Structure 1
Amino acid sequence: MKVLVPVKRVVDYNVKVRVKADQTGVDLANVKMSMNPFDEIAVEEAVRLKEAGKATEIVVVSIGPKGAQEQIRTALAMGADRGLLIETDEEVQPLAVAKLLKAVAEAEQPQLVVLGKQAIDDDSNQTGQMLAALLGWAQGTFASKVTVGDGEVEVIREIDGGLETVSLKLPAIVTTDLRLNEPRYASLPNIMKAKKKPLDTKTPGDFGVDVAPRLKTLKVTEPPKRKGGIKVPDIATLVDKLKNEAGVI
């Protein structure tokens, strides 16, 4: 079984994000970039499936600038077999990502696509669902446990009311939640070996996909600074402040 794992290059989650002075976006100059944490979980799950004998090949794909090769190499060091970079310096929005991944899936013919449920930069939580709709494949989102059987995959997914179990016929799309697994650290020998693993580079034009943004960002601002808490003498004062000062009730 071939597994396709899309990964995204994002600002490292330990970095304090700064807004550009002109408020057109986030300042990425000299900022540490890393693999989206949810995608890291997806790579780990694919590697575990391979170690369990359920998967035979893991293909990692990323869409973004040339620097995204670094994140693909990290996935290769974790245990993926080969990588594909769809290189573009444009802002690629979820629908365009889903269309590109559809083209890659049609070319690679994977039985399973495992990707993070969302990216920590835009928090869209759309790509997996859009990809499933475009391909017409079954989907299991917010997965906290994945079990692959003969021609099917069982996904235990997190929902508002607790957990839900769904059985999907392959091929299928699975999006990963935080509690699915704990990603491994790539060892130094594996990092060195990853440099020799195959990594292809293509462009959106090679797949005939227009990645021009459909949505326009008007302005990016930092959230207001939180004020210190206060103590109130009674419930009536609390309700009054929530109503008249905070405006939340």
Structure 2
Amino acid sequence: MTNIVVLIKQVPDTWSERKLTDGDYTLDREAADAVLDEINERSVEEALLIKEAQGGEVTVLSAGPDRATDAIRKALSMGADKAVHINDPALHGSDAIQTAWTLAAALGQITFENDEPADLIIAGNEATDGRVGAVPAIIAEYLGIPQLTQLRKVVVADGKITGERETDEGVFGLEASLPAIVSVTEKINEPRFPSFKGIMAAKKKEVLVYTLADLGVDPETVGVANAGTTVTSSTPKPPRTAGERIADEGDGGTKIAAYLVSNKVI
């Protein structure tokens, strides 16, 4: 049996317009439709595949405001067994290090049957709203466990986890003893669609809600005011303009090539 925690995040839909708030220049999460990050759907899917093959339990863990409940329910409707939601306004604007510290504190409190901790923690390689890609590694450092990151394949057997990492230099095999944390890429699998039965069942599944006080995290160590970096100004992207139309009078190819050269595309 393998007990798994999956780190998930609600992010603005990539098809929605994203913008920053005027005050602290953090991402305005209310200005766009919110969804479960696609890479997290793959993370949940991988956990479910391991559970179906070996037994165990899958818990999803997320930090976010009330609205994040929608992403949590999506993961539960896919088949996760239960969820933990860290919901505290002091987390607003936290950077990767602060977020990892908070998630690590929550992971220390998540237990399974017989009060056993998680064997495996699965995350996406990076969130689409930040693309830092460092949170799993930072959590591994805080918890003192092995990390296998950027994996396209995962195998759990005999108390170990092995994986494949694809880079520009080739494919590398990685191995570590459990417990461990891994992050996966979009090549890991194709996530399942929640069934109607799964959607209905998700409404009855347990969602534990923790505040920073519950986790023993000092609010003065997280949040935008205590982050390691500060955004001092921002400039909105320019509005879209009409493209240039080229009339083909037998020399269309030459005109297109000249246009591309003038714009330093070729």
Q: Which residue of 2 aligns with 1:104?
A: 106
Residue-by-residue CA offset, 1:7-46 (whole Å, 9 max, x unaligned): 1111012223245567934443352101111111111100
TM-score with structure 1 setting the length:
0.86
Describe the shift of the 1:203–1:19 C-alpha distance in structure 2 as closer, same or farther (beyond 3 A).
Answer: closer
Query: Helix, strand or coil: the match of 1:121?
Result: coil
Question: What amino acid maps onto 1:115 in structure 2?
Answer: A
Q: Report the counterpart of residue 197 of structure 1 in structure 2.
A: 205
Determine helix, strand or coil for the equivalent of 1:107. Answer: coil
Q: Which AA in structure 1 matches 2:185?
A: D
Q: What residue is the counterpart of 2:193 in the other structure? A: 185
Aligned match of 2:56: 56
- Residue in structure 2 matching 1:94, options 93, 96, 100: 96
Q: Relative to structure 2, which stretch is displaced further, 91-100 or 116-125?
A: 91-100
* Residue type of the alignment partner of 1:168: A
In structure 1, list runs of 5 or more residues that go unmatched: none
Tell me: CA distance 1:30–1:58, structure 2 relative to 1, closer, same or farther (3 Å). same
Amino acid at match of 2:176: L
Q: 1:223 deviation in Å?
A: 4.2
Letter of the 1:151 counterpart: G
Q: So what's the TM-score if we normalise by structure 2? A: 0.81
Contact 2:24/2:231, CA 8 A, preserved across alignment: no
Corresponding residue for residue 222 of structure 2? 211
User: 1:138 deviation in Å?
Assistant: 1.1
Alignment length (residue pairs): 240
- How do 1:123-202 residues align onto structure 2 when only pairs under 5 Å count? 123-202=131-210
Instruction: Give the 3-state SS of the residue equivalent to 2:130 in structure 1.
Output: coil
**CA offset digits 1:186-244 (Å, max 9, x no partner):** 112211110101111111222122323312222333445688687446xxx95x974xx
| Structure 1 residue 132, shift from structure 2 partner | 1.0
**Is the 1:25–1:219 contact (alpha carbons within 8 Å) kept by the matching residues of 2?**
no
Asked if the contact 1:64/1:85 (under 8 Å) is kept, the reply is yes
CA distance, structure 1, for counterparts of residue 50 and residue 38 of structure 2: 19
Corresponding residue of 2:42: 41
The 2-side partners of 1:14 and 1:111 are apart by 36
Task: In structure 2, list runs of 5 or more residues that go unmatched.
Answer: 111-116, 245-254
The separation in 1 between residues aligned to 2:171 and 2:57, in whole angstroms, is: 30
Closer, same or farther: CA 102–20 of 1 in aligned 2, 3 Å: closer
Distance 1:29 1:198 in 2: 26
Cα deviations by residue, 1:65-122 (Å, 9 ceiling, x for unpaired): 0111111111111111110111023223211221122222222210100001111011
Say what the alpha-carbon RMSD is for the aligned residues: 2.6
Aligned to 2:85: 85
Q: Secondary structure at the match of 1:218?
A: coil
Tell me the residue number matched to 2:71: 71
Residue identity in the other structure for 1:182: E
Verify the 8 A CA contact 1:204 1:211 in the aligned structure 2: no
